[in-house]
Structure 1
Amino acid sequence: MKTIFLFIIILFQIKLFACEKEIIKVVWENFPPYQIGDISLNTHPKGSSVDLLLAAAKKIGCLKNIRFEYLPWKRGLFELEKGRVDIMFNALKTPEREKYAYYKRYYSKGRNAIFVSSKDYDKLSKLSSEELMKEKNFIIGYSNGYNYGKIFEKMLAKYPNKFEMALHDDLSIIKTSNNRVNAFIGDVIQTNELIKELKQNKKIDKKINFKFLSLLLDESPPFTYLMYSKKGMSEKLVNKFDDAFVQLYKEGTTKRIFLKYIPQNFINEVVVKPDFEK
């Protein structure tokens, strides 16, 4: 009888801590230091956002259920909307995306900026947004499907011929280094990491350096979220992940994870206190 009772308890515990979704598909792309990986290698990515998600998944018993899938950002959004993938990293909240994705508490913030070659910085840094747009033959690269903020959206709508879209951030950087465009938009922290990587892989000249302009692309530094597919995941499971992120922050785990990838002097610019009242 004791053996049967013990067996029942074990089964109950297994069910209690089992992940309710057999496979959780997570989209990633090379977006250092948040997502870092090589698609040619048969390994899952790492990075601050990746490690934080895995820590949350472990807390709720879903670590073994996580599967990573490399997709370009725009394609990832499409697959998330259809419910064929479940989670995407480092997303800004927009009304359009909220139609097909759950957004819970934000877990970090970022800042997008316009990067230019160091040799052009002194001249361009003195210009306002309007003056920059009126520069002759001046083209700014940006990535397909990204949301850079309200100010950027207004600039793009008003001066569409001043912008050139690329599939990935690294392509815009390469184009700028080859003088095919004059500038590019990127996350302040992520871009510096990506430039280092491109130089190491000899995709851009090591002698080329970039600086970002102080022009704002949004009214305030945007918060970034995980996006959860409404078709792919139950809100109950999403809430479990959300609660786990709060626990990780309170324990100090969030900061420790980010410090593995981001310099100490940038931590307060990235790690934010979750909205515990949400």
Structure 2
Amino acid sequence: MLYSTTPAAEKRRLFRERLATGELLRFPGAFNPLSARLIERKGFEGVYISGAVLAADLGLPDIGLTTLTEVAERGQQIARMTELPAIIDADTGFGEPMNVARTIQTLEDAGLAGTHIEDQVNPKRCGHLDGKAVVDEDTAIKRIRAAADARRDPNFLVMARTDIRAVEGLDAAIDRAKALVDAGADAIFPEAMRDLSEFEAMRAALDVPLLANMTEFGKSDLFSADQLRDVGINIVIWPVSLLRIAMGAAGRALDTLNDEGHLTSKLGEMQHRADLYDLVDYEDYNHFDQDVFNFTIAR
């Protein structure tokens, strides 16, 4: 009731233990706290919080317009509603290396299990769009070194995302990833890999956990969890999928309202009131109220 019962530090410890087993951990993207609870109920291993989703939630494009305050606040709202570890997208760290350090400590305080910092030039672009630019290796290394040095909980996962594959090719991505691991990255997020062979090449070159981004309508094919497991991927995210599905359904419902004047034909597609009440623990709150407000006012 209210929030998760597992402290953030314990979530991080358990997450790092499970990540060390080498198994594939599935992190669907939550677009709000309620969807994070649904992800947990459906048996997934973690929750991902996408920068693109956070921007879209504010009606903004994913080009670095969100602030650390906005991201951390929304991340805290989502992370505290689930027992699962939550990884959040921190874009380029919201500034120079000192800003990156502050970002890490702010996200720790917000209860997140980890984050990734990317090597794009500010203002950043969606990782699956053309026209991206990356910073030089020295700048990328400074960002990750600042992140690793700033954390106070050693179990907080500092992941480095590199977008250099789309700019300079796979060999450059492998070289950049190795440099970022040497700088202190616990894991690598190689963005916009073209096919499974590229993930395999990254796996052969690196000893740290790897993340695969299975975002729709992007540069990468949409591989199954089994396919990614077979090439040694450790975390797979579907960052925007639930938001896309929800917005698609909302659009169709509004069309139905325009056409029919009611939503009777859509009832079968809706989450039932009973399921919603179960997801938010309505009954537990009801018992809590009865226990607390057990007095009467004298007349």
TM-score higher than 0.5 here? Answer: no
Task: Return the TM-score normalized by structure 1.
Answer: 0.26
Q: Which has the higher helix share?
A: 2
The structure showing larger relative contact order (alpha-carbon pairs under 8 Å, at least 6 residues apart) is 1
Task: Return the TM-score normalized by structure 2.
Answer: 0.25
Q: Which has the higher strand share?
A: 1
